[in-house]
Amino acid sequence: MTKIAVVTGAGGGMGLATVRRLARDGYRIAAIDRNTEELAQIVKDENIDASVRKVDASDEAQCRAAVADIHKEYGRIDVFVNLIGWTDSSRFVEEDSAYWHRLIGVNFLPVLHFSHAIAPIMIEQGGGTMLFVTSDAGKVGTSGEAVYAGLKGGVIAFAKSVAREWARYNINVNCTAPGPTDTPLEADQDPDLVARRLKVIPFRRMATPAEQAAAISFFVSEDASYVTGQVLSISGGLTMS
């Protein structure tokens, strides 16, 4: 039986790498993003077994409608991977609440919206796997990204909590915590900040999106069937905990 994977944030650097990796692993993919034109073209050009849906994941109604549509199309959902994330670099005391709410809508609400809609499907079918891509910022904090770090830390705590609740239903919930990765999001950061980060990474380079996707591939595979509530840093040794 071919497994069905829902991938949100599928159009980003890590998201697209994950779509490609999971397709290579044999999944049929429901790829979700706010910006779908380029994603749909890539899926078509590379003959990836995926359907593409445009969803504003900060909107609960849109998320629930997308999940219902995916369930109707495929009949099941075996894997949910959330890669949605965004931040800017700024000092907390100089930020305003509009910026905070934007961060909440991008970095926390999508996890709640999709998990709440998908979990009952997985429970009914007898199991499934969820993987939330967080950040090392959520484990150790980071200057210039205080609210983002707090939200990613919240996703980690949420994942551990539902991992305990849902283990009885054979649902695994884990997180990856990427360090600096060569994506458009990282390219938007202050170059001086990026340069300072690279100096303290033991490998002295950023991760590639494919390296992040490889860890996701492991966590959603049968090889990780006895792993739940865990957070793995993929950061070149930047965080060793």
Active-site residue set: 148
Beta-sheet pairing, 28-33 with 4-8: parallel
Tokens in use for 92? 């907390």
Listed in sequence order, the residues at least 6 apart from 175 whose beta carbon sits closer than 8 Å to its beta carbon are: 131, 132, 133, 134, 155, 156, 159, 230, 231, 232
- The packing angle between helices 60-74 and 109-125, to 10°, is 30
Tell the residue number behind the tokens 């905070």, with chain if given.
100
E strand segments, the chain: 4-8, 28-33, 50-54, 79-82, 128-133, 171-178, 231-234
Tokens in use for 160? 């551990």
Rg (CA), the chain: 17
